[in-house]
Amino acid sequence: MAEEGLKLLISPSEIASKVSELAQRILADHGEDELVLVGTLKGSFIFLADLVRALDKRDVFIDFVRVKSYGYSDTSSGEVVITKDVELPLEGKTVIIVEDIVDTGLTVKFLLEHLKLHRPKVLKVCALIDKKERRKVDVPLHYVGFVVERGFLVGYGLDYAEKYRHLPGVYEVVKA
């Protein structure tokens, strides 16, 4: 993107409120369970940190996977490659994949299939943003913060070529 501007779509206060709401829903569904939250690097790290704090629960374990599908482009390559796998044992556990954004669905589909091999008791997906504009495969999203119809989004962990992750809100990149 040669020259871009940013348009605020989701404010930091809206995000904080939604993260709290998602945490309460997860606790209502799985409050008695030992939870393993699996964040997808790098995009989900801010969302995951806020979600874990909002869960306010002793038995929450955190792990990460790192997958690659975008690289330095603003469009998915369509090929998902795992570059860092989970390290915690997941067998018999309640596992929630924490995603920053689901657009094509290919990454989530790949992760669900991959993590099922670890034989968790429960496997669900929590996404901050559900963006169906480029959805290629249907995937189950159990906890969704916001539905955004279109646009290339950055901020709150979301990036464009490693830029903009630090922004406290979610912005649409607007080409000048």
Catalytic center residues: 103
- Sign, CA dihedral 35-48-171-77, equals negative
Q: Provide DSSP, 75-132.
A: S--S--EEEE---S--TTSEEEEEEEEESSSHHHHHHHHHHHTT--SEEEEEEEEE-G
Residues 89 and 34: their CA atoms lie apart, in Å, by 12
CA 150 from centre of chain: 17
